Amino acid sequence: MNKLPLTLLAVAFGSLLLSGCDKPAPAAHQPAQYNLVQLEDPNEDIKVYTIPQDTAILDEPNAEQIFYGKRLLNETKRLLPDHVGAAMNCNSCHIAQGKIPLGDPYINSYNFYPRVMPRAGKEVNLVQRINGCFQRSMNGKPLPPESEEMQAMIAYMKWLSQNVPKEQLVDIRNAGAVDESLVADPVRGEQIYYAQCATCHGDNGEGIKDSRGDIVFPPLWGDESFNIGAGLARTYKAASFVKYNMPMGIQVKGLWGHGNVLSDQDAVDVSEFFAHKPRPDFPGKVNDWPTMPKPKDARY
Ligand code: HEC
Ligand code: HEC
């Protein structure tokens, strides 16, 4: 059979499945490509960015460092137990090793920082941004900026940015939109949780570990989850993650694992339910949002 019509069909079918999403999906066998935009002028397309395959790391002079960074992001709890309080790896939230738009990707992280962040009320560099996730999302302790581990994680993010010039960004979004005017209904959220989430995340939000104690499904609340200072402890931030990435494995449109099964209301309700369950405190919360009012969904 002639190959061309098949390919066209695959592409057409792919975009049909994803209609309503941010970007048309590439056929599964093609590497995903995205346009670049100038930071100063987001409308000006410069050239195309292709999400690299991990095998391409071998071509880099610092391949060993990049592979170490990749491992640390995937197996953070096991490799850095003194710095991680939660039963969480970085890639428990940064889906598919930070390569998926709307799944908290690291694709633009190397170029995006340093930048003034509303929560900090001052300029934050990439080391501080990563340590913010260590202290809040991982309920743990920061890494020394010059440590081998911190530098390896940054090397992975730099590699992922594929030499995009420092003043440019890839034209993707880190999180999808949800309607923030929706009022959350935690009772409905609890029903959704037990119907759609509990099989993996547990009846008590505790997640599932394998027989060696390694994380299979990360916890959504309790002592081993992210603390109240994490972005995901906020209903609408959590909803924009959940809507586009969860429930993992159940798919009606788009690529496997890309979510988009829940409506905005479903995502807001289930997020309100789990975000407000008991979780560790974050002592540093007193310093947050020094220059502006707290967002309406902050836990403190
Ligand atoms: C519980 C979920 C969770 C975990 C675990 C987590 N993060 Fe994050 N991280 C987030 C969220 C959510 C954001 C985006 C927050 C926002 O919207 O400002 C983020 C943002 C980031 C960013 C900035 C991304 C960008 O381009 O702006 C980096 C870099 C990052 N995290 C690195 C890490 C590293 C490294 C770890 C492990 C030490 C980690 N994260 C663990 C949820 C998490
Ligand atoms: C088939 C299993 C499965 C189901 C069902 C599922 N998840 Fe997840 N979830 C995962 C996995 C796996 C991860 C970690 C990401 C990874 O490893 O790629 C995750 C990560 C998360 C995270 C970020 C990490 C954390 O622990 O906070 C949140 C939040 C989350 N899921 C919420 C939900 C919600 C809400 C539902 C129901 C609507 C749901 N999940 C259903 C498998 C699942």
Give the residue, by CA position, lying nearest to ligand 1 atom 41: 90
| 76 class by beta-carbon count within 10 Å (0-12 exposed, 13-18 middle, 19+ buried) | buried
State the ligand closest to the CA atom of 220. Answer: 2
Expressed in angstroms and rounded, the spacing between residue 40 Cα and the centre of ligand 1 is 24
Domain locations along the chain: 1-30, 32-170, 186-287
Would the CATH topology of 32-170 be identical to that of 186-287? Answer: yes
CB 249 within 8 A of CB 255: no
Which class does domain 32-170 fall in? mainly alpha
Average pLDDT on 244-271 reads 80
CB 172 within 8 A of CB 105: yes
In the DSSP assignment, the letter for residue 284 is G
- What predicted TM-score, i.e. pTM, was given to this entire model? 0.88
What's the confidence (pLDDT) of residue 25?
A: 46
- Probe residue for ligand 1, chosen from 70, 94, 106, 288 as the CB with the greatest number of ligand atoms within 8 Å: 94
Give the residue, by CA position, lying nearest to ligand 1 atom 8: 133
Closest of 197, 249, 246 to residue 221, by C-alpha: 197
Residues flanking ligand 2, CB < 6 Å:
92-93, 95, 196-197, 199-201, 217-220, 226, 232, 238, 241-242, 246-249, 270
Task: Name the pLDDT band for 151 (thresholds 50, 70, 90).
Answer: very high
Provide the CATH topology of domain 186-287. Answer: Cytochrome Bc1 Complex; Chain D, domain 2 (1.10.760)
pLDDT digits 0-9 by tens, 2-57: 343 433 333 333 333 343 344 444 444 556 777 766 555 555 555 788 899 999 99
Helix H, strand E, coil C: the string for 40-98 is CCCCCEEEEEECCCHHHHHHCCCHHHHHHHHHHHHCHHHHCCCCCCCCCCHHHCCHHHH
pLDDT digits 0-9 by tens, 98-136: 998 999 999 999 999 999 999 999 999 999 999 999 999
In sequence order, the 6+-apart residues with CB closer than 8 A to the CB of 157 are: 69, 98, 106, 109, 110, 126
Single-letter residue type at 129:
R
Q: Cα–Cα distance between 108 and 117 in angstroms, integer? A: 15
Residues flanking ligand 1, CB < 6 Å:
73, 76, 88, 90, 92-94, 104, 106, 108-109, 112, 129-130, 133-134, 137-138, 153, 174-175, 226, 230-232, 237
